[in-house]
Structure 1
């Protein structure tokens, strides 16, 4: 069976652990050159080492994509293009769950930090990813939302739920705006608590959405939680 991402360059933000690491490994197994980005260098280097140990190709970049003043989102896309000449797929996976607090008890700083990490970071990443892809023949973007946002299923996570619901809406809007320009955008909504799906299972869904097999899927937020599907 041929590998689906041979010759493709893939950027994974939040690639140092969890779903991001699993996706980075899965993309590398399918032949992609992978760049993982995030705020924790030790974790990113571990991901790169795991990929290279499997015979894959990977590098990393330290970046806080939610910080618009540092322009890390722009810089990491530029680094991908400088290193590899292109960017074909982006998986925007940075996620901050935040504290467990009722809505009226959420502090302004917690609210701002959670929305910056989960929403502003995705918007800034897409802003620069789309700009490159639109000018270079297209590409695919997958964003991580959450079924807490889609289903409103967990009290005590108001800031997280609001930010992830907004990611879903942002994804759908951007998908409609850019599909005619060759950029295909979707989201996944895994469950961060409880048994929704293993990270490897979620990673396989990300790869499917990024592949030609899903070329007809646009603007979809795919909920990955067997409990809500029953």
Structure 2
């Protein structure tokens, strides 16, 4: 066998199969020289934007649900209301029923004159609204959620002052007189909560209108995409329940 034939059949030959490291360079140099080039695709801006929007929409649903369950309903969309529970505790504390005003129902009722888009119940998002708008909704719902603590304080105040009941021959079941200054303390707390909820309901109504206006404007600029919207409550309670 000639030297040329011997070289052609040597293990260092690169003909056929995987390349074999030659003996005249180091293994490290050979690995570097034969490494595959990894192509890193540039991120898709549209995909990145949609991912951020999806995360913001999920956060909005979570924050909305905290507001709804912490202030208005104990469960679901149509379950027992906090207003009803507080009224029961109000009576149990011996306070004057004729002076009862629900801070939740009053705050909600005050927004009805502003139309269909008023209040947290009617918060609606659209598929094409901007990241900035979704971020503004997150901020609003976060602020709105601070009122959950005020509702908790209302419960604590009334639960702490529950009175014993007795049967009155003329008027039936009655509760013993409330502790001094409780009516004043409750009225102050209730009025502050009612005013705050009214303001947040109005702000949510304004936000609803801004969202709708932006969605319509963007749809006119790009009418090929359908204008789709959904109430946040539908995502929070797909079946009307928890």
User: Which structure ranks higher in relative contact order (CA pairs < 8 Å, sequence separation ≥ 6)?
Assistant: 2
Q: Which of the two has greater helix per residue?
A: 2
Q: Radius of gyration: which is bigger?
A: 2
TM-score (norm 1): 0.23
More strand per residue: 1
